[in-house]
Chains A and B, each alone.
Chain A
C-alpha cells in the first residue's frame, strides 16, 4: 500500500527566507506527483504537477523536484511571503487515472 509522508508537519519562518518542504512515498511506481496548497477551511489549489519522466517543475517562486528511485520530492519556496502561509500537500497518482494518494501536509506560517 502506497504511503506518502510529509516532513515537517509544521514550519514557521520569517518573511524572506527560502524554505524546503519534503515529501516521501513508499512505492516508486507512480505516474506523477502533485503539490497542492490549502488555505484554512478551503479547497485545494494545484501548484505544480511533475510527471514521472520529469525531474522538476517551476512556477514563479516555486520549484518542485522529483526523484522516483528514492521516493522523494521537495518543494522549494524562494523568498517566502506572509501570503504563502497555508498547508502544503503532496499527492501521488498510482494509476493511469486521476486518483490521488495524499500526504498529511506541512502547515507553513510565514511571519512578517
Chain B
C-alpha cells in the first residue's frame, strides 16, 4: 500500500508570492491534516479535512487555506508569503480522523521564502 505522498518536495518562493502544496493520502483514508514545522515553534496544527469539509482549524492567519477533493486528496495554499512561512509542511492521513487512529505522515514539503 502506497504511503502518504506530498508534492512538491522542495519549493523556493519570494515574499508576496503565493504557493500551493498537495497531499495524497493513503488509499481509503478520508481524513487529511496539515502541520507546519519550524525550528522555533516545532510542529503546529494548521487544519484538518474530512469528506471535503474543514473540520478543525489551528491558530494561523487567513493567508493559510486548504481544501479537499472528492478523492480525499488535499491542497493547502499560502498567499502573500512572508519570510516566517519558511518551514517544513507535513500532511497526515487517517481513516476517518478519530483520535484512536494512527496518523500516517508524508515526507513533507520544504518551503523556503526569500
Assess the B105–A103 pair: CB atoms within 8 A. Answer: no
Among A32, A45, A96, point to the contact of B105 (Cβ < 8 A): A45
Assembly CA distance A96 to B48 (angstroms): 13
Query: Interface residue count for B (Cβ, 8 Å)?
Result: 29
Task: Kindly state whether residue B71 has any CB partner on chain A within 8 Å.
Answer: no
Task: Kindly state whether residue A100 has any CB partner on chain B within 8 Å.
Answer: yes
Q: Interface residue tally of chain A, by bracket?
A: 20 to 34
**Overall SS of chain A's interface:** strand
Assess the A96–B108 pair: CB atoms within 8 A. Answer: no
Q: Which residues of B contact A (CB under 8 A)?
A: 4, 31, 33, 35, 42-45, 48, 55-56, 58, 88, 90, 92, 94, 97-108, 110
Please, could you name 6 A-B residue pairs with CB atoms under 8 Å apart, sorted by A? A32-B99, A97-B56, A98-B101, A100-B33, A104-B42, A105-B42
